[in-house]
Structure 1
Amino acid sequence: MHIYGFDHIVLCVRNVDSTLDFYRHVLGMAAHEERPGKWSLHFGSNKISVQNANDLPSLAKKTVPGSGNFCVLTDLPMADVVAQLQSQNIEIVEGPAEKAGAVGKLMSVYFRDPDGNLVEVSNRKR
């Protein structure tokens, strides 16, 4: 088997509307209703599926809100990322700090979404 990338990730959330609002306003992602009641967030060629914790399919019954931890990349200078988060009263829990990414070093800042999922926004260091 040869794995070459991600298609999507799934976040289990307590409140779909709050989650969609957070990711639209804080990270500029686009929300799409894939079918009635089934939402996802899109950015570039990437997708985060949003799964309501009160309506989990049997396959995902042990998934809990707030257990996600992921990293997204931006070309925006880190000082601007920090300024935008602060302007929206988003608490930075760590960073900016240098981290190891998939293809090299990153400069990263961490914060939490409304469910407590840990979100990392990073610049690739050149």
Structure 2
Amino acid sequence: MSEAAAIAIDGLDHVVLTVGSVERTVDFYTRILGMRVERQPGRPTALHFGSQKFNIHQAGREFEPKALRPTPGGGDFCLLTGMPSAAVAERLAAFGVAVELGPVTREGACGPMMSVYFRDPDDNLVEVATPGERP
């Protein structure tokens, strides 16, 4: 019996975030991170950025199928920007968002980057990174 070949993954389309308040989440991600909101009847609210999106599920009213234990605040992800990391930190401060860590050097999927870490309204850990930036 031969071993099956792995499935080749080319990219990421979307991630689902379970949240305490869809409206609070939409406000945060559109106002602070410039994402574009899309609402369609019978579908999750979506936050678009680049060629990806977050689908937003209200805790207790998730769309099926869903994670086994959908929980607000269980996310930890990295978003990419072309903006210098110091400017990211400054803009977050201007919006009253506390920087938890950074700018700091990290190794991303495509090489070195400078990252700034902060929390969204559900306490998900958000990393915004500038690829190729050096300290």
Q: Identify the TM-score tier after normalising by the shorter chain.
A: over 0.9
3-state SS of paired residue (2:69): coil
Q: Number of aligned residue pairs: give it.
A: 126
Which digits, 9 at most, give the CA deviation of each residue in 1:36-83, with x for residues without a partner? 462010011110110110202464351100000111111111121111
3-state SS of paired residue (1:62): coil
Larger Rg: 2
Q: Given the alignment of the two structures, is residue 6 of structure 1 paired with residue 36 of structure 2, yes or no?
A: no
Aligned-partner Cα distance in 1 for 2:59–2:17: 9
Aligned-partner Cα distance in 1 for 2:43–2:9: 31
Gaps of 5+ in 1: none
Aligned-partner Cα distance in 1 for 2:24–2:11: 29
Q: Given the alignment of the two structures, is residue 95 of structure 1 paired with residue 97 of structure 2, yes or no?
A: no
User: Larger helix proportion, structure 1 or 2?
Assistant: 1
Q: Given the alignment of the two structures, is residue 76 of structure 1 paired with residue 83 of structure 2, yes or no?
A: yes
Alignment TM-score, normalising by the size of structure 1: 0.94
The structural deviation recorded for 1:86 is 0.4
Aligned-partner Cα distance in 2 for 1:66–1:95: 20
Alignment TM-score, normalising by the size of structure 2: 0.88
3-state SS of paired residue (1:55): coil
One-letter amino acid of the counterpart of residue 132, structure 2:
K
Cα RMSD (Å): 1.4
Q: Which moved more, 1:61-70 or 1:29-38?
A: 29-38
3-state SS of paired residue (2:32): helix
Q: Which stretches of structure 1, 4 residues or more, deviate above 4 A after TM superposition?
A: none
